[in-house]
């Protein structure tokens, strides 16, 4: 396969820590053969080149400024396939915590006298601005899952993350439930696919892969309360990554008269 016939792949970043792109760089070090089947034409973390069009565009980071929308739309127009890379692009990520506070107060607190210089607004996942074809969940992404997604895209398939909870993976790994070890965990409502890495190493799931379909959030809140968490602590734990998703569920319930 010549360079000219390889799919053109590009990486972009918005509001994020760029940890997911660093995971991509790490995956290329351990799986250099990937470079034999794709042509990376734009990737600020690794190369200085630019490109006018891409077959696959991976986007890390949430949309948090008015100006982000135009840039996202430009990438969408140039790309055949767009993939949300990581929790910030997929869910809004940790950045979305500020959506629960007064935006003007947050801007004044962060930027002080320079607050008017920044066009920040409510944080949102990129799927609320442009059409997204696939996602690689997590914070950061899982290296092996990223490679699997790339392989499926190159085969013309649309990858889908698991629709079952992290608890299933814990059971398959024969882990002792962290609740039995005095910890708390969001595994019952969080989408699997990470091989239950946090519970496997003794820490409760923090929900970075987002909600499963039809999550039993109120039931989990009751369990968390039974394990000693107060209302504010429960809300803070669930809001770490899931602010946008939970707010959307609330809006849907109100719209349906629930």
pLDDT in tens, 118-157: 888 999 999 999 999 999 999 999 999 999 999 999 999 9
**Counting beta carbons within 10 angstroms of the beta carbon of residue 88, is it exposed (0 to 12), middle (13 to 18) or buried (19 or more)?**
buried
Give this prediction's pTM. Answer: 0.93
pLDDT in tens, 3-35: 668 999 999 999 999 999 999 999 988 999 999
pLDDT in tens, 200-224: 999 999 999 999 999 999 999 999 9
83 and 52 Cβ atoms separated by less than 8 Å: no
Q: Does the pLDDT of residue 229 top 70, yes or no?
A: yes
Partner residues linked to 134 by β-bridges: 83
* CA–CA dist 161, 193 (Å, integer): 7
Cα→Cα distances 133→65, 71, 136, 149, 190, Å = 22, 17, 11, 12, 21
Pairing of strands 54-60, 79-85: parallel
Task: Output the average pLDDT for the chain.
Answer: 94
């Amino acid at each position: 396969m010549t360079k000219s016939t390889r799919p053109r792949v590009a990486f972009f970043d918005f509001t994020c820590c760029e940890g997911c792109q660093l995971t991509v760089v790490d995956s290329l070090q351990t799986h250099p053969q990937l470079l034999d089947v794709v042509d990376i034409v734009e990737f600020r973390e690794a190369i200085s080149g630019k490109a006018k069009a891409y077959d696959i565009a991976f986007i890390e980071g949430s949309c948090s400024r008015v100006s982000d929308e135009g840039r996202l739309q430009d990438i969408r127009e140039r790309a055949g396939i767009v993939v949300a890379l990581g929790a910030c692009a997929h869910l809004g990520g940790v950045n979305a915590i500020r959506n629960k506070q007064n935006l003007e107060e947050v801007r004044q607190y962060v930027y002080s006298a320079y607050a008017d210089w920044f066009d920040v607004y409510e944080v949102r996942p990129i799927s609320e601005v442009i059409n997204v074809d696939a996602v690689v969940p997590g914070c950061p992404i899982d290296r092996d899952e990223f490679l699997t997604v790339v392989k499926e895209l190159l085969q013309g398939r649309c990858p889908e993350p698991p629709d079952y909870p992290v608890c299933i993976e814990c059971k398959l790994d024969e882990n002792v439930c962290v609740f039995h070890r005095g910890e708390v965990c969001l595994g019952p409502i969080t989408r699997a696919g990470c091989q239950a890495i946090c519970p496997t190493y003794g820490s409760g799931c923090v929900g970075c892969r987002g909600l499963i379909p039809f999550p039993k959030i109120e039931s989990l809140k009751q369990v968390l309360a039974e394990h000693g968490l107060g209302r504010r602590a429960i809300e803070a734990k669930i809001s770490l990554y899931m602010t946008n998703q939970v707010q959307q569920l609330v809006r849907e319930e109100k719209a349906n008269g629930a």
